[in-house]
Structure formats: C-alpha cells, structure tokens
Amino acid sequence: MQKNIDVIKFDNVFMKFNNHTVLKSISFDVQTNSIIGLLGRSGAGKTTMINILTGRYKPSQGKVTVLGRNVLNSSENAKDMGVLFDDLGLFDRLSVYDNLYIYSKIFKLPKSYIDEALGIVGLEGEKKKKVLQLSKGMKQRLALARTFISKPKLIVLDEPTSGLDPVNANKIHKILLEFKARGTTVFLSTHNMEEATKLCDSIYIIHDGEIIEQGTVNEICKKYDSSKTIIVTTKDGEVLEYQRGKKNNEALLNLISEDYFQSIRTSEPNLEKVFIMKTGEGFYDES
C-alpha cells in the first residue's frame, strides 16, 4: 500500500541563535488531517518551531517538509499552508470583504471562496465593515478566514485564542473544528491546557527545545496515572478509592445500582498536572 504523504515532517531539526541551541533534534510527522497542539512554557521554542515550519527561519540543521515539499523553497506551499501569527496582518482601513478579496486575487481564486470563508467564521453579515470597526474577536475570525481562503491542506496558528474571552475563544475552536472537518490539518501552539484537551487530536510538549512528550491527551494522562484507582464520592460525601481491576467491579456496580454515588472519576492526572510534572513549572509562569 502506498504511504500517505506527510502533511508535516520535521527531520532532526536543530536551531541555534549564536551559541544558544533553542531546538534540539526535533523529529515528528503528521499524516492525517487532525488538530495538533504544541505546548510549552514561555521560551520553550514554540514560536521558533512555527517560524521554521512556515519557512520564516532556516533551521541550523535538519529539514522540514510540508506535503513532501521543503518549506524553504516551495512557492506552492503559500497556497497550501495558511499561517496566522500574533500580528494578524489585516488591512485596517479596508473592508472585511476587501481584506479577503486581495488574497483571492493573489491566489487566483473564485469570488465564491471569499463568501465561503466568511460563512465559516460567521462574518458574512459584516462584509462592508472596515477592519478598524471590528472587535478583537471578529478580527481574529477574519484573520482565520484569510488563512482558509485558499482551502489549504495545513493551517499553522501561533496562540490563536490568546487574549480572547471564553465566548470568543469558543467561536475560534468551532471554526478550527470546521476547518478540520473540511480536510485541513491545524497545527497550533497554545498555553491553554483546556483548549488542548478539548481540541487537539494529539499534542507535543516541548521543553528547553526538546519534545519531551507526544500522543493524544488521553494517552499521555494515562501514562502518568500511577495509582490506577477509581475514586467515588458518595452521596454522604465519603471518598472511596478502588484499585482498578475485576475484583472491585462488583463493589462499584453495587454503588451505581444503589444510586449511592455523587461522582465517579479515575485517578489519572489532567494535562496541566502532567505538564507541571514534566516541566517543573506552571504554564502561567511567564518569568
């Protein structure tokens, strides 16, 4: 059977700034359309990885390909890869529609693509508004529409919900899921554990320039479940712990059938706990 072409492939990538090595032997590949999260503390190397992935930086060593093409010398990637950085790159004095029209001209796309992209991000009613008049959340959605205008195979986003309130962040999440449903792989960096847990099919945790953990959130959290217990809080507020395994199934079933429990959970840590365990610091420590 023919192997699918990797959407993204990092092959033994190193990055040095002067004598400071900020990425060390980064290798991974992404084959199917999915949402991939890159998590790491401030300064871990996320933006550097994204700059390399999008061809902005040349790695000191190693190679990065998108859809089998070297990101440093493929002009076709411009159309196949939508990119969004902190600076949204919108034209403030132009209308919502014209911001996308410019890109449709660059990529020689039919006008219907503009309406389609605006529809996905829920800005079809704001076509004539100037970017200056938009709220922060709307600007972010317009910038996402721009990344999708050419219906790329890959969209790369550096902290796409940074600074947004939960309602607007949720709108962005829905848009990213819609991109995925339409066959686009989304690669994003985030500081937000809940976002990664909710959205990402798989994640990479980067620490001091190295990938120290990768997989689905579920796989990673399970790996660090040292006690492997089921914790039941009864209606009387009592907390009972059962070792997982056949021998306790009957006791657990009894609690359930007698409707004597308030909550039941497993002992595996959530992603934030795993992150702190692995990096020794909280996510929100920006020192």
Ligand X SMILES: Nc1ncnc2c1ncn2[C@@H]1O[C@H](COP(=O)(O)OP(=O)(O)OP(=O)(O)O)[C@@H](O)[C@H]1O
Question: How many Cα atoms sit within 13 Å of 108 on the Cβ side?
Answer: 0
Q: Which is nearer to ligand X, 60 or 267 (CB)?
A: 60
CB of 150 to ligand X, least distance (A): 26
What are the helix (H) ranges across the chain?
A: 46-53, 77-80, 96-106, 112-121, 136-148, 166-181, 193-199, 217-223, 249-257, 271-279
Q: Residue 255 and residue 247: Cα distance in Å, rounded?
A: 14
CB of 224 to ligand X, least distance (A): 22
55 contacts 63 by C-beta, under 8 angstroms? no
CB of 226 to ligand X, least distance (A): 28
Cα dihedral 207, 80, 177, 102 in deg (nearest 10): 110
For ligand X, the binding residues (CB under 6 A) are 17, 22, 40, 42-48
CB of 42 to ligand X, least distance (A): 3
Selection from 27, 26, 5 nearest residue 16 by Cα: 26
CB of 51 to ligand X, least distance (A): 7
160 contacts 172 by C-beta, under 8 angstroms? yes
Backbone angles phi, psi at 28, to 5 degrees: -170, 160
Q: Residue 100 and residue 251: Cα distance in Å, rounded?
A: 61
Q: Which is nearer to ligand X, 259 or 286 (CB)?
A: 286
CB of 285 to ligand X, least distance (A): 11
Q: Which is nearer to ligand X, 195 or 268 (CB)?
A: 195
CB of 282 to ligand X, least distance (A): 13
Q: Which is nearer to ligand X, 48 or 140 (CB)?
A: 48
144 contacts 119 by C-beta, under 8 angstroms? no
Beta 154-158 vs 185-190: how paired, if at all? parallel
